């Protein structure tokens, strides 16, 4: 552990460097520390912090900036979250202040608001789907060889797909299939629906169809789409504001990662299942593409509807004290909006 004076110096170096983007010298520090010491003492302490790996020089004669180790120590021991202002609280409230008819709209809006508030890239993962029920299913013939399958879930989400079939659409057969699916699957969790589609439903459908494989595959794909984890990203172009270089392949890898569900899921997986606000950066993110970036994540709670996640991706040089405070406030307000949404449709 560092001494109290070294703690104060490291905290102030992080603060000044975040504000200015410039290496911090002893004279600048002397004017900003909450106690009086000589410039020589500050230089000695900064040298000790550099020798211990908490500070580093960008050039031989420059001031110093926080190292990765210094940032980690700061985040683990020194950061003091700042409460959001009344203005920011009102802004969050006003931006959420409209009626949402689908859960995806509310989740997507949360990413948009968070990105706007921070000027960074914001990511929102919807609540877990264990409690989501199938509440509606229809098949609509569009023409002799095309049908549209539509499902509605208990979170008022609607999914649909258009399918082309080889044989001419038989309207009476379609209605029988819809009745079967509704009788057997309506009101059941989507996870259970998927299991029944592979077991009980095919056996029933073969009484009416020569082959059910294509139809079951069609339905399975649609239900998987409704059940799958959904990531909403906003402010992707903000990443370019903090790119250290504009190597086209690196920029392409960065955007592919943000827009790819598997890569994004791996990036956001902290291994934690609590409400802590977690900050990871550089090598901790497990991808060299993100060596100059930092990721702040936290879970939010939607009660019986599960937990989700919000995240901010930006440069290592961020105002962590402000952002950690903002994430805590935003998480609470977003959870409240989600519960309001669910209660409205649970009661309907």
Domains assigned to the chain: 4-78 (1.10.10.10), 86-128+230-346 (3.30.450.40), 134-227 (3.30.390.60)
Residue 131 structure tokens? 């409690």
Dihedrals phi, psi of 282, to nearest 5 degrees: 55, -130
The mean per-residue pLDDT over the stretch 111-123 comes to 95
- Calculate the average pLDDT of the chain: 85
Which of 73, 94, 82, 70 lies closest to 17, judged by CA? Answer: 70
The mean per-residue pLDDT over the stretch 5-29 comes to 92
CA terminus-to-terminus distance, the chain: 57
Dihedrals phi, psi of 83, to nearest 5 degrees: -65, 140
pLDDT value at residue 122: 96
Tens of pLDDT, residues 221-264: 777 777 666 789 999 888 888 766 556 677 778 888 887 767 78
Residue 6 vs residue 181, higher pLDDT = 6
Q: List the single range of 43-57, 199-213, 226-240, 269-283 with lowest mean pLDDT.
A: 199-213
pLDDT value at residue 245: 59
The mean per-residue pLDDT over the stretch 326-347 comes to 87
Tens of pLDDT, residues 281-325: 988 888 888 888 999 999 998 887 778 899 999 999 999 999 999
Q: pLDDT > 70: what percent of the chain?
A: 91
Residue 204 pLDDT greater than 90, yes or no: no
Cross-strand partners of 151? 137, 159
pLDDT value at residue 279: 95
CB crowding 245-259: b at 16 or more within 10 Å, else e: eeeeeeeebbeebbe
Tens of pLDDT, residues 168-189: 778 888 888 888 888 988 988 8
CA distance linking residue 151 with residue 249, whole number of Å:
40
Dihedrals phi, psi of 270, to nearest 5 degrees: -90, -10
CA distance linking residue 12 with residue 24, whole number of Å:
9
55-to-4, 67, 97, 248, 316 alpha-carbon distances in Å? 16, 5, 44, 31, 14
Contact 231, 261 (CB under 8 A): yes
Please state the pTM of the whole predicted model. Answer: 0.77
Residue 123 pLDDT greater than 80, yes or no: yes
Contact 6, 52 (CB under 8 A): no
The mean per-residue pLDDT over the stretch 196-219 comes to 71
Q: How many helices (DSSP H) and strands (DSSP E) are in the chain?
A: 13, 10
Residue 213 pLDDT greater than 60, yes or no: no
Residue 219 vs residue 206, higher pLDDT = 219
Cross-strand partners of 124? 232, 310
pLDDT value at residue 103: 84
């Amino acid at each position: 552990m560092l001494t109290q004076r070294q703690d104060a110096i490291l905290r102030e170096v992080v603060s000044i460097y975040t504000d200015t983007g410039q290496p911090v010298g002893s004279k600048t520090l002397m004017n900003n520390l909450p106690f009086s010491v000589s410039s020589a003492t500050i230089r000695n302490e900064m040298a000790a912090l550099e020798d211990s790996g908490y500070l580093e020089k960008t050039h031989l004669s420059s001031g110093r900036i926080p190292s990765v180790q210094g940032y980690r120590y700061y985040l683990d021991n020194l950061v003091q979250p700042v409460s959001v202002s009344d203005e920011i609280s009102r802004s969050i409230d006003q931006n959420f202040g409209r009626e949402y008819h689908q859960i995806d709209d509310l989740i997507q809006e949360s990413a948009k608001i968070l990105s706007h508030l921070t000027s960074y890239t914001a990511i929102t993962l919807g609540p877990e789907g264990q409690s989501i029920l199938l509440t509606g299913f229809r098949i609509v013939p569009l023409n002799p060889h095309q049908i549209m399958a539509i499902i509605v879930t208990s979170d008022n989400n609607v999914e649909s797909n258009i399918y082309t079939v080889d044989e001419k659409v038989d309207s009476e057969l379609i209605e029988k299939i819809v009745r079967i699916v509704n009788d057997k699957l309506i009101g059941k969790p989507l996870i259970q629906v998927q299991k029944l589609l592979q077991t009980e439903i095919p056996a029933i459908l073969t009484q009416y169809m020569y082959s059910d494989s294509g139809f079951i595959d069609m339905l399975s794909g649609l239900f998987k789409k409704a059940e799958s984890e959904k990531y909403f990203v906003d402010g992707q172009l903000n990443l370019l504001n903090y790119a250290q270089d504009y190597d086209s392949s690196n920029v392409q890898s960065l955007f592919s990662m943000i827009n790819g569900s598997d890569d994004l899921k791996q990036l956001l997986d902290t291994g934690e299942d609590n409400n802590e606000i977690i900050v990871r950066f550089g090598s901790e993110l497990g991808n060299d593409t993100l060596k100059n970036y930092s990721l702040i994540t936290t879970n939010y709670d939607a009660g019986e509807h599960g937990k989700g996640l919000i995240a901010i991706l930006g440069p290592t040089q961020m105002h962590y004290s402000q952002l950690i405070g903002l994430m805590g406030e935003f998480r609470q307000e977003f959870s409240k909006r989600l519960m309001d949404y669910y209660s409205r449709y649970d009661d309907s």
